[in-house]
A = this chain, B = another copy of it.
Amino acid sequence: MPVPLTFKIHHKSKENAARTGTVTTPHGSFRTPAFMPVGTRGTVKGLTPQQIRATGSDIILNNAFHLMLRPTDKRIAELGGVHAFMKWNRPILTDSGGYQAWSMADINTIDEDGVTFKSYIDGATIRMTPEFSIEIQNNLGADIIMAFDDCPSSVEPQSQNLARRRHALTTRDGVLTENQHELRLLQSLDRTARWLERCDVAHQKKDIQALFGIVQGGVNLDLRARSVEQVCNVDLPGYAIGGVAVGESPEKIVEVVKFTANLLPEEKPRYLMGVGYERDLVAAVASGMDMFDCVLPTRNARNAHAFTKNGHLNLRNACFKDDIGVIEEGCTCASCAAGNSRAYLAHLFKCKEMLGGTLLSIHNIHHFQSLMIDIRLAIEDNSWSALPKRWPVLTMS
């Protein structure tokens, strides 16, 4: 049977667990470590595929949950799949919809067979199971698809208020005690393992779509180890770490990722889901992770938040009204290269003009892609320790 994905490692850092490589899919290759901009509903908000490509992006992420609801995965299949739908003829990854089904819907219940939730479009009751998630992703036709997992909060009960903002907690019965929390995590791990096997059985396009399993386990390293063992028990083209950056401290993220990455098979791509800020990415690469996605560059862009090597700027601040400089001196993104000033962007955000979000999304994605380029160079040159000098933002809190 043809392989849907190959991963070739080019270089391993002498300084840490980082590596560079190339992942090849039916829609082309991408260099790793790779950053994937998020195109939730089949569009990276406000950017044409040409503009996305010009940021240096090789692969993007779409959300199966949103596309299943609208325009529906069946319609996208009829239209030729998600690549043809959004005219992005390079690699695409879809998430499984599990996280959204659990965290975004107003009413949902989870049981051994799947998640039941109400559609935010029309209130219809939708039953999402491992088999249904894979069917959706088979219909969408992305190059990399994700297992449907049970994903409870990874944070300790005392951090629940923090977590609640980003992630629905673990039961409908309210706040859990610490002991209940541990039990729920354990339940979710074992269920995730059972669901992964169901996903693998249900997957109908193994020749052209690579299914990745997802390791859970929260911040408990014993549970992470248990999850790695269970998930890697299914032979898959790649593995992901989920349930990270949902409210825990940066130090905890590093600890969990470092511990878990080291247990994953070395010869397969490792994907850290939904992470994160620049320093989180750099720490995760140093731990041996290869792929990343995050809404930060685009979501923050629409809120006038600019990423630069020297730190973050809010372009709504009054000080930028008269600032003739580009967002970042020396930046080669399409916006800075065209000379768009901070003053112009500040004006666009002040007037709620959509071009502001577009230009700043271009800059911010380009920022993350530039970081990935420098990360890859640092690995190949064994110059890892020089990275923070070129990226002062890495040492800022």
Contact = CB atoms under 8 A, between A and B. Distances in A.
A75 B343 CA distance: 9
B354 A354 contact: yes
Contacts of A48: 334, 338, 355, 358-359
A357 B47 CA distance: 11
A341 interface: yes
Interface string A39-52: 00111011111100
A127 to B, nearest CB: 23
A358 to B, nearest CB: 7
Q: How many copies does the complex hold?
A: 2
A80 interface: yes
Interface string A215-226: 000000000000
B351 A354 contact: no
A43 B355 contact: yes
Contacts of A377: none
Nearest to A41: B351
A354 B75 contact: no
A12 interface: no
Interface in A292-338: 321-322, 324, 334, 338
B45 A322 contact: no
Given A70-B347, A79-B343, A354 B357 contact: yes
Given A46-B46, A48-B358, A71 B343 contact: yes
A48 B348 CA distance: 12
Q: Count chain B CB atoms within 10 A of each CB in A49, A339, A343 and give the residue with the most.
A: A343
B338 A45 contact: no
Nearest to A302: B354
A75 B322 contact: yes
B351 A46 contact: no
A302 B348 CA distance: 17
A71 B347 contact: yes
Contacts of A341: 79, 85
A371 B48 CA distance: 25
A30 interface: no
Contacts of A322: 75, 78-79
6 contacts: A45-B355, A46-B354, A47-B355, A71-B347, A71-B350, A354-B358
List 4 tightest A-B contacts by C-beta distance, closest first: A71-B347, A46-B354, A43-B355, A354-B354
